[in-house]
Amino acid sequence: MNFVLSPRGAWRPALFALGLLAATAFAETAPVAAPTAILIRNARVFDGLGDALTDGLSVLVVGDKIAKISKDPIVPPEGAVVIDAQGRTLTPGFIDVHMHASAFLPGSISDHASPWQMGVYMAKSLEGFLQRGFTTVRDAGGADGSIADLIDKGYIAGPRLFPSGPALSQTGGHGDNRAPYSAHPYFGRSQELAMSRGLSWLVDGPDEVLRAARENLKNGATQIKILASGGVLSQFDPLHTVQFTPEEIRAAVAAASNWGTYVMAHAYNVKSVRQLLDNGVLQIMHGHLLDEDTIKLAAEKGAVIEFELVWQWSDEVHGKANGLSDVNLAKLHQIKAGMAGYLANLKKYHVLTGFGTDLVGNQEFQNKEFTLRAEYFPPAEVLRQATSQGYAIISLCGPLNKYGKFGTIEEGNQADILLINGDPLKDISILEKPETTLALIMKDGKIFKNLTGRVQ
């Protein structure tokens, strides 16, 4: 059996480049050394679970955990930093369950980047996510455990990262990014640039799927991503195509299950999603073309259907400038035309969605997703999607979650905390401007931004 993976060595220069960044970027973006304790007083708290704010709360952080929440005064431990929230809104850090750290720039630019440049782009991408208030992200194709490790060790001032490694694609599938009519790596020519960048493995048959999934898990993936239908940004696969066979899907599920985790799948159309649900995949990424019966079936099986709106807006507004072809844009319009009733049915059947953005380039527009969702969901529901729902989805990786509980303001949780100027439950669009709206960004009890001006 011949099985071709992207050259693993292609990422080593990128990781070395990230190491070199530590001498400069880390010095500029590293958090203030965490004190023993931080007390935040006089906050209006959205806990990630309810529908309203609770006024006049104090939150004590000790180390990397929320130690105490109280309406009564909390006496700060000796040496604690005390922050007066002055009635600002306190929320959990946000969670994006569908992002790509390697997509800092549009594909038309980054497709020709060297591995060294990709390392820099990924570092800048991750730093940007944290500065927009996202303290946890799930990479849906590209980053592996080595990037998560650099964040955990402080070389990148980024969010907690749950990586998938390269997504698994069949030949001619959504992850087959070769040039038109180029040779297949299986038949003797080296992998094309897009795959050597680590975005996807090109695999066919259960054995190759099994080996690629195991390779990703060995390299630190916390879940497996497969590409199971046509997509917008790929050139060769119409949206109606069904990708992978039942046997191939079950191979990916078996590999993930043996590690105590799950498979998530890119898929838009009914036939693809029903095949996934029938073969053990219970996390659907996109699903924008699903009918009511399929959404009802997904709900009955307890499946997640994670959707995004901002990349559609971005591609429609900026797609031509970013190099999207007429083929790409036609598929985008096909998706937008096919979404009638889609979000209403997700609400009707109470499907867990989380909060995803999936931006390829133009990541600075990430927080516009809040405003776009508020056209269909109440602001409190959107904030729950971006906090407690995100944790519920990501934590399905079971033993591969080494960070504990996050996504809600509860005693014992990881101290991921935002202080917001204004009330997002009244006007969630204020989150589109995180540079001014976010007065405090804390992850794991460390302060990465503080504009409160009220530190004692």
pLDDT tens per residue across span 310-319: 999 999 999 8
Residue ending a domain, among 350, 373, 396, is 373
Residues 284 and 363 in one domain: yes
Give one DSSP letter per residue of 243-285, joined into a string: -S-HHHHHHHHHHHHHTT--EEEEE-SHHHHHHHHHTT--EEE
Residues 299 and 436 in one domain: no
Note down the domain range covering 311.
8-14+94-373
Mean pLDDT value across residues 280-288: 97
Mean pLDDT value across residues 215-225: 97
Mean pLDDT value across residues 46-51: 98
Residues 146 and 189 in one domain: yes
Residues 230 and 129 in one domain: yes
CA–CA gap between residue 107 and residue 433 (Å, rounded)? 25
Distance set, CA 436 to CA 14, 91, 132, 307, 439 (Å): 32, 16, 10, 27, 7
Q: Tens digit of pLDDT for each residue in 174-189?
A: 766 666 656 566 544 3
Residues 100 and 200 in one domain: yes
Q: Looking at the domain assignment, is residue 23 inside a domain?
A: no
Model pLDDT, residue 419: 98
Mean pLDDT value across residues 82-86: 96
In this model, does residue 104 exceed pLDDT 60? yes
Mean pLDDT value across residues 281-292: 97
CA–CA gap between residue 164 and residue 145 (Å, rounded)? 8
Number of domains in the chain: 2
Q: Are 396 and 351 in contact (CB under 8 A)?
A: no
CA–CA gap between residue 421 and residue 452 (Å, rounded)? 9
Q: Looking at the domain assignment, is residue 24 inside a domain?
A: no
Q: Tens digit of pLDDT for each residue in 10-20?
A: 333 444 444 44
- Please, which residues have CB within 8 angstroms of residue 316's CB and are 6 or more apart in sequence? 329, 332, 336
Residue in the block written with tokens 């070199």: 20
Angle at 381 between CA 378 and CA 387, to 5 degrees: 145
Residues 176 and 84 in one domain: no
Residues 301 and 319 in one domain: yes
Residues 204 and 55 in one domain: no
- Please, which residues have CB within 8 angstroms of residue 143's CB and are 6 or more apart in sequence? 100, 101, 102, 122, 161, 163, 164, 165, 198
Residues 85 and 114 in one domain: no
Model pLDDT, residue 207: 94
Q: Looking at the domain assignment, is residue 254 inside a domain?
A: yes
In this model, does residue 326 exceed pLDDT 70? yes
Residues 244 and 291 in one domain: yes
For the chain, give the mean pLDDT. 88
CA–CA gap between residue 70 and residue 51 (Å, rounded)? 19
In this model, does residue 191 exceed pLDDT 60? no
**CATH number for the domain harbouring residue 194:** 3.20.20.140
**CATH number for the domain harbouring residue 70:** 2.30.40.10
Q: Looking at the domain assignment, is residue 20 inside a domain?
A: no
The percent of residues in the chain predicted with pLDDT above 70, rounded, is: 85
- Strand order of the sheet with strand 304-306? 200-202, 167-169, 224-227, 263-267, 283-286, 304-306
Q: Are 299 and 277 in contact (CB under 8 A)?
A: no
Q: Which of 414, 449, 422, 335 is nearest to 95 (CA)?
A: 414
Q: Looking at the domain assignment, is residue 257 inside a domain?
A: yes
Mean pLDDT value across residues 389-404: 98
In this model, does residue 321 exceed pLDDT 80? yes
Strands 417-420 and 438-443 come out as: antiparallel
Residues 204 and 145 in one domain: yes
E strand intervals along 274-370: 283-286, 304-306
Q: Looking at the domain assignment, is residue 3 inside a domain?
A: no
Please tell me the pTM assigned to this model: 0.89
Residues 150 and 99 in one domain: yes
Model pLDDT, residue 115: 78
